[in-house]
């Protein structure tokens, strides 16, 4: 009896995987037939330097003229542009040639698809380098074709200064196969499934140790994990981009910031299976505005302080954001037991529609069912929620601060949230161990008496936590 039921469970799981994998294959086939008719390029003119498109070895870089920007088209560097052959070498060659020239442009031309394997495009390069993406870059669809050593990211941009990515093109991470692997993983752990599946999933585009970087106009879609990540970087501008992957894609943050400062993200449309923007430790002077966010988990600071780590985040401004159908709106989350400080955060003019919990501070963040209670916390002080308007589907405000050290200077100003008509079973606003002011028009009225006044006695503890951040 027992064996029978586990056998049929196994069969069901097998069926599930089969269906999921098949749906991925169908989309691959559709793509193939779509690209079949593209004419092969024989010659490509590039400032009068004709190169054989199919020449196997990288062509020499065109010479720079004083009057023209020099452009380096991947087609001139041997790219097949059929979406099936590996064009990584061509992209790398075009990059390396352009890197040596002041104000150069690497061109990914429109109406072509380029299959790119995991790649590192590295600097330092000459200033004002541009990667002009008008066509489509696609990642290898099969997980097995990813080298085990390159699972951290797909397109790795490293040590680049004064650099722009722009264009009307698309970066497609082909994440479909990866999203389903979480399920397979789960089975693997339980001994149901033995096929080797990597534990890591790649971020689509990652900047590391770069500054003065602009990313504009492009689309980044279907990443296996995070879509656009900035790590150890400074002076970032993101403008007018679109990030999109389905709601059921797992852990696919839109934009992920870590150890990065002086960042402006604006006029963009971000929807995926996780945070629209995630702000992690080491971030300061971040301005996020005019963003449409959803589906996903909203805009988050954290989770910070995992495994008793030090976390420091300061000067975060989020304004003029619109969210629809997200799990959270604007949120700060920390693990119990961390140390360090979050200070000077402001969320204003946030329009929400059917958002489960629009305003959230959670110092008990936990990705498992239960986490151990611990003393010590990342201290939170100076968080302003102003003009958060719209509808919620579960709880309007949830501010749960640490038992050991309360949050201070939490301000709720002009919060007008109505229960969404599509749901029932609403909770009242909750504030736990949090000090601050409520002012302006507040709706529902449970927000009125949510915060405690005072909390001045925390100043000294807060200062000692803050001093760990410098």
Residue 128 touching ligand NAG (CB under 6 A): yes
Report the residue number, 57 or 367, with the smaller CB distance to ligand NAG.
367
* Closer residue to ligand NAG in complex, CB, 129/323: 129
Q: Which stretch binds ligand NAG (CB under 6 A): 34-42, 177-185, 365-373, 443-451?
A: 365-373
**Calpha distance 304→314 (Å, rounded):** 13
Q: Are 412 and 441 in contact (CB under 8 A)?
A: no
To ligand NAG, the closest distance from the beta carbon of 271 in angstroms equals: 16
Does residue 324 belong to the site contacting ligand NAG (CB under 6 A)?
no
Measured from the CB atom, the residue of 128 and 209 that comes closer to ligand NAG is 128
Binding residue (CB under 6 A) for ligand NAG from 124, 127, 440, 454:
127
Residues in contact with ligand NAG, shown as a per-residue x/- string from 145 to 184 under the rule CB under 6 A: -----------------------x----------------
274 neighbors 253 (Cβ within 8 angstroms): yes
Pick from 88, 232, 309, 315: which binds ligand NAG (CB under 6 A)? 315
| Catalytic pick among 51, 227, 256, 297 | 297
In sequence order, the β-bridge partners of residue 311 are 340
Q: Does the annotation mark 274 as catalytic?
A: yes
Which of the stretches 309-317, 412-420, 428-436, 449-457 binds ligand NAG when contact is defined by CB under 6 A? 309-317
Of the candidate residues 188, 259, 324, 344, the single one contacting ligand NAG (CB under 6 A): 344
Q: Is residue 370 part of the contact set for ligand NAG (CB under 6 A)? A: yes
- Max Cα distance, the chain (Å): 81
* CB contact set of 221 (below 8 Å; sequence gap of 6+): 170, 171, 172, 173, 227, 242, 243, 244, 245
Min separation Cβ 343 and ligand NAG, Å:
8
- Please state the closest distance from residue 103 (CB atom) to ligand NAG, in A: 6
Choosing from 46, 217, 253, 362, the residue that interacts with ligand NAG (CB under 6 A) is: 217
Q: For ligand NAG, give the closer residue by CB, 373 or 439.
A: 373
443 near ligand NAG, rule: CB under 6 A: no
Among the listed residues 73, 253, 274, 362, the single catalytic one is 274
| Residue 262 is among the residues annotated as catalytic for this protein | no
317 binds ligand NAG (CB under 6 A): yes
Task: Specify the stretch interacting with ligand NAG by CB under 6 A; choose among 35-43, 90-98, 296-304, 312-320.
Answer: 312-320
Binding piece for ligand NAG, criterion CB under 6 A, among 12-20, 290-298, 299-307, 313-321: 313-321
Instruction: Give least dist CB 231 to ligand NAG, A.
Output: 21
Torsion sign, CA atoms 326, 329, 330, 333 = negative
The yes or no reply on residue 124 touching ligand NAG (CB under 6 A) is no
Binding residues with ligand NAG: total (CB under 6 A): 13
Instruction: State in angstroms the smallest separation of the CB of 318 from ligand NAG.
Output: 9
Q: Which residues bind ligand NAG (CB under 6 A)?
A: 102, 127-128, 168, 217, 240, 315-317, 344, 370, 372-373
Catalytic residues: 274, 297
């Amino acid at each position: 009896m027992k064996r029978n039921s586990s056998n049929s469970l196994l069969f069901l799981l097998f069926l599930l995987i089969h269906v999921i994998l098949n749906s991925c294959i169908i989309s691959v086939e559709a793509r193939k037939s779509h690209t079949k008719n593209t004419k092969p390029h024989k010659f490509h003119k590039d400032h009068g330097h004709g190169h054989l498109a199919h020449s196997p070895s990288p062509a020499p870089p065109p010479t720079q003229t004083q009057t023209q920007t020099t452009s380096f088209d991947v087609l001139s560097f041997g790219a097949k542009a059929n979406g099936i052959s590996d064009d990584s070498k061509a992209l790398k060659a075009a990059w390396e040639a352009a890197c040596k020239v002041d104000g150069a442009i690497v061109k990914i031309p429109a109406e072509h698809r380029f299959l790119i394997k995991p790649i590192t495009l590295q600097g330092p390069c000459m200033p004002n380098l541009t990667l002009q993406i008008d066509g489509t870059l696609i990642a290898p669809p099969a997980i097995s074709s990813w080298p085990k050593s390159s699972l951290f990211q797909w397109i790795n941009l490293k040590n680049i200064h004064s650099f722009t990515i722009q264009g009307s093109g698309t970066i497609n991470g082909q994440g479909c196969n990866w999203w389903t692997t979480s399920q397979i993983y789960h089975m693997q752990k339980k001994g149901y499934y033995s096929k080797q599946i990597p534990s890591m999933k790649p971020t689509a585009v990652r900047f590391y140790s770069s500054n003065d970087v602009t990313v504009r106009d492009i689309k980044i879609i279907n990443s296996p994990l995070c879509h656009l990540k900035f790590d150890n970087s400074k002076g970032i501008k993101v403008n007018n981009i679109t990030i999109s992957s389905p709601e059921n894609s797992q852990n696919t943050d839109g934009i992920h910031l870590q150890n990065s400062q002086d960042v402006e993200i604006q006029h963009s449309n971000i929807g995926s299976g996780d945070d629209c923007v995630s702000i992690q430790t080491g971030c300061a002077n971040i301005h996020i505005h005019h963003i449409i966010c959803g589906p996903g988990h909203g805009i988050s600071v954290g989770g910070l302080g995992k495994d008793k780590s030090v976390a420091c985040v300061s000067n975060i401004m989020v304004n003029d954001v619109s969210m629809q159908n997200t799990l959270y709106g604007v949120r700060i989350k920390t693990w119990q037991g961390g140390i360090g400080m979050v200070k000077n955060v402001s969320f204003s003019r946030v329009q929400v529609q059917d958002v489960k919990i629009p305003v959230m501070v959670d110092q008990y963040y936990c990705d498992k069912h239960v986490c151990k209670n611990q003393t010590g916390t990342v201290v939170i002080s100076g968080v302003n929620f102003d003009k958060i308007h719209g509808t919620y589907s579960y709880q309007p405000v949830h501010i749960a601060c640490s038992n050991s050290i309360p949050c201070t200077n939490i301000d709720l100003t002009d919060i007008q949230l109505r229960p969404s008509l599509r749901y029932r079973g609403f909770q009242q606003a909750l504030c736990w161990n949090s000090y601050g002011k409520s002012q302006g028009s507040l709706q529902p009225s449970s927000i009125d008496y949510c915060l405690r006044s005072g909390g001045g006695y925390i100043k000294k503890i807060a200062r000692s936590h803050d001093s760990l951040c410098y």
